Structure 1
Amino acid sequence: MGVVTPFPVPPRGGETQIGFERAELTRILDLYGRMVAAGHWKDYAMDLGREAAIFSAFRRAAERPEFRIEKRPALRNRQGMWALIGEGGAVLKRGHDLAPVLAPVERRLMKLVAE
């Protein structure tokens, strides 16, 4: 008889992977879908690490992301765990809630649709 290994194996040192909750990811993917429908974004990537969960949106697949939406729970009690980072790496918006952080991108979407 074989040895039964528990699944999933707990990470070493108590480190866990940071991820998006269902409501957060729904909000982000809804915005992404609207930007794709407007013809502005073409691709996205997600990086789920030990310190942060990052959603990157691209105009084209072979370039730097136009926007990165970062969730860093370690900053929850400081300036807020959500950050919107621009193409050059500058923090455009930071906050405790996701909706106000996504507001500049949603305003840009309104301009794209109006044109």
Structure 2
Amino acid sequence: MTIQSPTPFPQSNGIPDQISFDRKELGDILALYGRMVAAGEWRDYGISCLRDVAVFSVFRRTAEHPLYRIEKRPKMRLRQGQYSVIAMDGQILKRGADLKKVLRILERKLIRPID
């Protein structure tokens, strides 16, 4: 009898064991993150890759709850779009199929009126 360890490779039905952001998606998210860090708005982030969802969490300080969560849910891609931005209180700020368009809701936070 042999014991096999679980692998991160796709199962026989083609569905991966966990969802993750690809290189382009992560590049788009990290570009926004860099601009927000430079503006002094964000200070830390965390990435979670789970079975049904990949989450990029943004923090103002390390020990807080995330200010925003950027989620990728491939099961939602044919419905409302697989990407969403969720606020700290759980409110969905934007959802869609194009990550760059969804992230624009957070870029608006950089634009402030000058008094």
Query: Match for residue 87 of structure 2?
Result: 86
More helix by share: 1
Pick closer, same or farther for the CA change 1:24–1:111 going to 2, 3 Å: same
Match for 2:57: what amino acid? S
Structure 2 SS opposite 1:106? helix
Query: Match for residue 58 of structure 1?
Result: 59
* 1:47-70 CA-partner distances (Å, limit 9, x unpaired): 001101000000111111111000
TM-score by length of 1: 0.84
Q: Once the two structures are aligned, what percentage of the paired residues are identical?
A: 50
Q: Distance in 2 between matches of 1:105 and 1:64?
A: 17
Unpaired runs of 5+ residues, structure 2, are none
Q: Distance in 2 between matches of 1:104 and 1:23?
A: 19
The alignment covers a number of residue pairs equal to 111
Q: Distance in 2 between matches of 1:100 and 1:10?
A: 30
Structure 1 SS opposite 2:90? coil
Shift of 1:111: 2.2
TM-score by length of 2: 0.84
Query: Match for residue 108 of structure 2?
Result: 107
Unpaired runs of 5+ residues, structure 1, are none
The answer as to 2:19 corresponding to 1:29 is: no
